Amino acid sequence: MIGGIGTDQQGSKVVEIFDTQAGRWRLGPSFPIPIHHPNVAAVGSKIYVAGGCHGAINRSRRRRRSSNRSLGNHNDPGHAD
C-alpha cells in the first residue's frame, strides 16, 4: 500500500508491504511526498507509481440537478469527476 488518507484528511507518505509468505504487513521506506489515490503497478521486482493526489481532500461535490455530472470540487472549480 502506498499513501492513503490520514485522519487529518491529508495524503500520507506511508508505504506498507504485505509479505505473502508470512501473511503480515510491514512498513517500507516512506514515499517522498504525501499522496493519496495513486495508481500502482508491479513489474518483476519494480514498483511503479503514477498519478495520485497530494494535499487535503474535500469530499463535497456539486452536481447538476438534471444530470449526475459533477461540476467539480467546491475548492477547485476546474476539477471535475
Q: What are the tens digits of pLDDT across the range 40-74?
A: 998 998 989 988 887 766 554 444 555 545 444 44
Residues 40, 43, 47: CA angle, nearest 5 degrees? 45
Q: How many CB atoms are closer than 10 A to CB 3?
A: 22
Domain spans of the chain?
A: 16-73
What was the pLDDT predicted at 22?
Answer: 95
pLDDT at 13: 92
**What pLDDT, on the 0 to 100 scale, is given for residue 66?**
53
Output the CA torsion sign for 46, 18, 28, 14. Answer: positive
pTM of the model: 0.60
Q: Residue range 3-17: average pLDDT?
A: 89
pLDDT at 8: 85
Task: State how far the alpha carbon of 5 is from the alpha carbons of 12, 23, 71, 72, in Å.
Answer: 6, 24, 23, 20
